[in-house]
Structure 1
């Protein structure tokens, strides 16, 4: 009787051990599949990012086109980001909006000013950077040109919403924007929404009278660490195979 009980216990123990090994194997295979999937996803992201960087470089090097061409592209749903453009008009400095920014280690603002076009519509132009202490336009009056100007720059799309919950809300009362809210800029500047073009233009580095704002502030530094991430995930998958193989080998020994 005692031998029977002992035999039953041993069989149950072996069965539990086999189930444990099967469960462990399933978990290892699942983990391996997840790690390889993550690595493959990062490789796909790498291809996308490299294509995007190449497209931006090509657009920046392309000849400047009239504003009407950018309008037509935007209306057709085409990507206008970083496309070179030229446009003429007169700045309405009394309606400039201030976007909180840093430039070459200094804190200040990008100055977004409505450029009034010949047909009465307005286009918000990012004229460039001014230091924090130069936020008030009266401290940089030389740069508030009143004559007609022709701007060369890059088209930039509008944002439909705040890019992240970590970004502060725009302070309309103080005319400080933390994200490029075209609707907010339009409304706070007292412009009719249907008379404002649905994108921005970043002015190039042509010097403004008095040196401010400092143009050419468009940022092109797109992080591209996807290959590093892919190698990390693939490396973890390989390490999992090696560790699992050693475990099986030692058990058989």
Structure 2
């Protein structure tokens, strides 16, 4: 068996170095996606624990929010108090493929803090025909729901909020508090309570509260397979090229 000439091997050096560099990048991206997978699975498990846990008090939720606002997203809590006004804001949303609005009404807790309560979904057709759903229950009630930060802000293709027309296309809690005549700096919490179905919701079918679960996209394993697959393809292409080049030199 003859060994390839040294000149033939040296001719592969630039391609070999470039292949090794690209291979390192592809493998590194695959490993990074596996690390992201572990992080995302841990985050999903944490959120699922919050949703399924016994509800905490508003004071407990506020304490966690002061330490780290991310600790309260999807946290289940129970707030006794009363709805302070029948004024309701409508935030655009879709549910089961239907366009509509989330009905958001201020709620004063027994401790004196005001919380914006998301009472549920109202189809756009109902809002246009009837001006919205039924008003909230009167008198003392106890609302159980999930704390939601809604910190995404306005997206690049999201319309501006129309406060005068009561059409909100993204969550802006300070502006919403001002629209309701509330002093957001002193008494309004920085999160919304997405209410679960309950007796507080009023007599009519809308707004309809549905307990929702966190649905975070998790495709990191697919991405990792893609990067590792590209790395294997690169090795195969390099091997075929190298064999072809060396055979050509031998001839």
Give the TM-score, by structure 2 length.
0.85
Q: For residue 198 of structure 1, what is the aligned residue in structure 2? A: 190
1:176 equivalent to 2:167? Answer yes
- 5+ long unaligned stretches in structure 2: 1-6
1:154 deviation in Å? 0.8
Secondary structure of 2:181's partner? coil
Number of residue equivalences: 238
1:44 deviation in Å? 1.0
**Among residues 224, 233, 239, which one is paired with 2:218 in the alignment?**
224
Q: For residue 51 of structure 2, what is the aligned residue in structure 1? A: 60
Give the TM-score, by structure 1 length.
0.84
1:87 deviation in Å? 0.2
Superposed, 1:147-162 pairs within 5 Å as 147-159=139-151, 161-162=153-154
d(CA) in 2 for partners of 1:56, 1:154: 11
Q: Which has the higher helix share?
A: 1
1:153 deviation in Å? 0.7
1:147 deviation in Å? 1.9
d(CA) in 2 for partners of 1:59, 1:121: 22
**Among residues 11, 26, 29, which one is paired with 2:17 in the alignment?**
26
Q: Against the structure 1 CA distance between its residues 39 and 87, is the aligned structure 2 distance closer, same or farther, given a 3 Å change threshold?
A: same
Out of 78-87 and 216-225, give the one that drifted further.
216-225
RMSD: 2.5
1:85 equivalent to 2:69? Answer no
Superposed, 1:1-253 pairs within 5 Å as 21-77=12-68, 79-135=71-127, 139=131, 142-159=134-151, 161-162=153-154, 164-194=155-185, 195-206=187-198, 208=201, 209-216=203-210, 218-253=212-247
d(CA) in 2 for partners of 1:20, 1:165: 50
The higher radius of gyration belongs to 1
1:160 deviation in Å? 6.8
Contact 2:107 2:114 in 1 (8 A): yes
